[in-house]
Amino acid sequence: MSRRFTPKVVTANRLREGDVVYLTADDRWSLLHSEAELIEDEAHAQLRLLHAASEKLLVVGPYLADARAGAHGPEPIHFREAFRTRGPSNYNHGKQADLAS
């Protein structure tokens, strides 16, 4: 009966700047989705989310987002999460600009 667990990443926004960030395996918050820890186990996902929720001075609103393994690290599945990796589509603002500079 058990459905296969869809891999997850932990994502949140930085408290001070609001930037979208991802939790890495070595407990950093990275701007890059590809650096996120891809979590393949449900129990581990809950533990990582608890850890994220304890980082109250760093991030706001952590949650688990579906992801899949890609050639250069985890990739988002849903379009909303894909937008969050970049920034808005009407201006070159947000991470798509910040990471390029």
Partner 1 sequence: MYSYSDFDESFVRARVAQFTSQVERRLDGSLTEDEFRPLRLMNGLYLQLHAYMLRIAIPYGTLSPRQMRQLALIADTWDKGYGHFTTRQNIQFNWPKLPDVPAILTALADVEMHAIQTSGNCVRNVTADHFAGAAADEIEDPRPYAELLRQWSTDHPEFQFLPRKFKIAITGAPNDRAVTKAHDIGLRMVRNAAGEPGFEVMVGGGLGRTPMIAFTVRDFLPVEDLIPYVEAVLSVYNTLGRRDNKYKARIKITVHETGREEISRMVEERFAELRPLFHGNDQTLLAGIREAFAAPAFRNAPVEAYDAFYKADPVFRAWADTNLAAHRNDQYAIVTISVKAHGQTPGDATSDQMRLMADLAERYGHSDLRISHEQNVILPHVHKSDLPAVHAALVQAGLGTANVGLISDIIACPGMDYCALATARSIPVAQEIATRFEELKLEHEIGPLKIKISGCINACGHHHVGHIGILGLDRAGVENYQITLGGDGTETAVIGEKTGPGFAYDEIVPAIERLVQAYLGLREAPQETFLQAYRRAGMEPFKAALYGQEGEKDAA
Which of residues 34 and 83 has its CB atom nearest to partner 1 in the complex?
Answer: 83
For tokens 């009966």, the residue is 1
Closest distance of CB 86 from partner 1, Å:
9
Closest distance of CB 19 from partner 1, Å:
7
Which of residues 44 and 78 has its CB atom nearest to partner 1 in the complex?
Answer: 78
Closest distance of CB 91 from partner 1, Å:
8
Residue 93 CA to residue 91 CA, distance in Å, equals 5
Where on the chain is the footprint of partner 1 (CB under 8 A)? Answer: 13, 15-20, 56-57, 60-61, 77-80, 83-84, 87-91, 93-95
Q: From 75, 74, 78, 46, select the one nearest 62 (Cα to Cα).
A: 46
Sheet holding 73-76, edge to edge: 29-30, 20-23, 8-14, 59-70, 73-76
